[in-house]
């Protein structure tokens, strides 16, 4: 599949939900496939917390010949989020008002701000309608937010392993990670690698919430005489190093706060009213072993969207099953796209 990368520049004042503003922004986005004459074949992908616009790198099996979204049939778009570090405007970007990087002064942003930026890109691309909007975790939160605020744009939505309002449990986990970043003595410096050791610790803290008890059994030690040097400990070190090699503490801080502030009911009388605004047919997917976004949260979403189907992926891998159990995900999505489900109309 010939995926191509582009930059979209928005050169106008961009007011944020917090009341502050960006003097402008850019989004890096990736496309694959071709737009048909009717413009009826658009699939928009929203990535997870530390993802990027290169959807082939992390969800490639969904976008192959004979997959749910065959690039010979669909035009696929994915944009790196505002606040990220893969080409879109984020904390390491240059603030044109100061000619220096934002660093700690990057403004508070929300999922509403992120999807408004996406919507400017959508209009720029001339896309009046989107066949399917799909995303998981933080990306799933954005799917719901966008479908609520632009209900006429989307024909189908697929929010996976996400929620309508972030839970106190999730907020507590994210705050603990940010606390780990703050105790890194380099965090207060204005350098791109500030807080990097804190980021490693933060990632290690998050891994047990991304996986499950059973998933960590893979790290079991056969040597019964060990006192230190356990496989599970080495795995945590590895995951911290792996993220630090490709991400930065500033974007991690920003995007965990985006997740914390997620509440689709903000600006409406309640969450139920907000979800009821969605007009797209929805496939809501949960994971039975997900500790971070338990399936009760997806059940709530399902019950409050007019035309929705709820499916559960049964897996030992926890929240990360949306990246690991690709064959199960493909099968569920293919049935949905072929309209084999009965909705709760």
Do residues 233 and 321 share a domain? Answer: no
Residue matched to tokens 């489900």: 341
- Report the chain's C-alpha Rg in angstroms: 20
Do residues 161 and 188 share a domain? Answer: no
**Nearest one of 29, 172, 23, 28 to 105, comparing CA atoms:** 23
Question: Into how many domains does the chain fold?
Answer: 2
Q: d(Cα 1, Cα 42) in Å, to the nearest integer?
A: 16
How does pLDDT run across 54-72, given as a tens digit for each residue? 999 999 999 999 899 999 9
Do residues 16 and 107 share a domain? Answer: yes
In a domain, 342, yes or no: no
In a domain, 343, yes or no: no
Which of 235, 259, 283 is at the close of a domain? Answer: 259
Q: d(Cα 204, Cα 152) in Å, to the nearest integer?
A: 41
Do residues 107 and 154 share a domain? Answer: yes
Q: d(Cα 283, Cα 158) in Å, to the nearest integer?
A: 5
In a domain, 345, yes or no: no
Do residues 30 and 136 share a domain? Answer: yes
Dmax (CA) for the chain in angstroms is 67
Do residues 126 and 252 share a domain? Answer: no
Q: d(Cα 249, Cα 236) in Å, to the nearest integer?
A: 17
Per the structure, the complete domain to which residue 71 belongs is given by: 4-167+263-337
Mean pLDDT of the chain: 95
In a domain, 80, yes or no: yes
Q: d(Cα 182, Cα 202) in Å, to the nearest integer?
A: 10
CATH number for position 305: 3.40.50.1820
Do residues 15 and 108 share a domain? Answer: yes
pLDDT of residue 219: 86
pLDDT of residue 115: 98
In a domain, 252, yes or no: yes
Query: Catalytic residue at 137?
Result: yes
Which of 259, 280, 315 is at the close of a domain? Answer: 259
The dihedral built from the CA positions of residue 153, 29, 51 and 92, taken in this order, carries a sign that is: negative
Would you call 131 helix, strand, or coil by DSSP? strand
Residue matched to tokens 């939900």: 17
In a domain, 227, yes or no: yes
Residue 79 has pLDDT above 90, yes or no: yes
How does pLDDT run across 227-265, given as a tens digit for each residue? 888 999 999 999 999 999 999 999 999 999 999 999 999
Do residues 11 and 124 share a domain? Answer: yes
CATH number for position 203: 1.10.1740.110
Tokens of 287: 């994971």
Q: d(Cα 29, Cα 242) in Å, to the nearest integer?
A: 24
In a domain, 297, yes or no: yes
Residue 194 has pLDDT above 80, yes or no: yes
Regarding pTM above 0.85, the answer is yes
Do residues 52 and 189 share a domain? Answer: no
Which of 213, 242, 259 is at the close of a domain? Answer: 259
**Nearest one of 72, 82, 79 to 108, comparing CA atoms:** 82
pLDDT of residue 224: 74
How does pLDDT run across 294-329, given as a tens digit for each residue? 999 999 999 999 999 999 999 999 999 999 999 999
Do residues 118 and 134 share a domain? Answer: yes
In a domain, 92, yes or no: yes
pLDDT of residue 90: 98
Residue 78 has pLDDT above 70, yes or no: yes
CB of 345 within 8 A of CB of 303? no
Query: Catalytic residue at 319?
Result: yes
Return all residues near 308 (Cβ < 8 A) that are at least 6 apart: 281, 282, 283, 284, 301, 302, 343, 344
The residue annotated as part of the active site, out of 156, 290, 315, 320, is 290
Do residues 245 and 203 share a domain? Answer: yes
Tell me the pLDDT band of 342, cut-offs 50, 70 and 90: low
The residue annotated as part of the active site, out of 93, 137, 212, 315, is 137
pLDDT, mean of residues 116-144 = 98
Tell me the pLDDT band of 2, cut-offs 50, 70 and 90: confident
Residue 99 has pLDDT above 90, yes or no: yes
Do residues 70 and 216 share a domain? Answer: no
The residue annotated as part of the active site, out of 212, 262, 319, 320, is 319
């Amino acid at each position: 599949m010939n995926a191509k990368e582009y930059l979209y520049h928005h050169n106008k004042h961009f007011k944020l939900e917090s009341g502050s503003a960006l003097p402008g922004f850019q989004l890096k986005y990736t496309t694959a496939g071709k737009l048909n004459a009717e413009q009826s074949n658009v699939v928009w992908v929203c990535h997870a917390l530390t993802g990027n616009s290169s959807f082939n790198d992390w969800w490639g099996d969904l976008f192959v010949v004979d997959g749910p979204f065959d690039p010979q049939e669909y035009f696929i778009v994915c944009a790196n989020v505002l606040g990220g570090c893969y080409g879109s405007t984020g904390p390491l970007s240059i603030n044109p008002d100061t000619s220096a990087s934002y660093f700690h002064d990057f403004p508070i942003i929300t999922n509403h701000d992120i999807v408004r930026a996406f919507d400017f890109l959508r209009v720029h691309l001339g896309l009046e309608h989107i066949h399917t909007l799909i995303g998981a975790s933080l990306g799933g939160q954005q799917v719901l937010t966008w479908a609520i605020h632009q209900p006429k744009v989307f024909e189908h939505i697929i929010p996976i392993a996400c929620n309508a309002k972030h839970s106190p449990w999730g907020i507590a986990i994210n705050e603990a990670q940010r606390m780990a970043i703050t105790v890194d003595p380099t965090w207060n410096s204005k350098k791109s690698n500030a807080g990097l050791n804190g980021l490693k610790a933060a990632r290690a803290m998050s891994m047990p919430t991304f996986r499950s008890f059973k998933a960590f059994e893979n790290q079991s030690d056969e040597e019964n005489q060990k006192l230190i040097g356990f496989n599970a400990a080495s795995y945590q070190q590895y995951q911290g190093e792996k993220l630090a090699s490709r991400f930065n503490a500033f974007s991690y801080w920003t995007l965990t706060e985006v997740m914390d502030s997620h509440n689709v009911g903000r600006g409406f009388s309640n969450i139920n009213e907000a979800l009821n605004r969605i007009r797209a047919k929805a496939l809501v997917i949960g994971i039975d072993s997900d500790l971070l976004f338990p399936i009760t949260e997806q059940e709530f979403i399902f019950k409050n969207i007019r035309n929705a189907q709820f499916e559960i992926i049964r897996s030992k891998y926890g929240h990360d099953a949306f990246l690991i159990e690709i064959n199960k995900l493909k099968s569920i999505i293919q049935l949905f796209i072929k309209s084999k489900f009965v909705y709760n109309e």
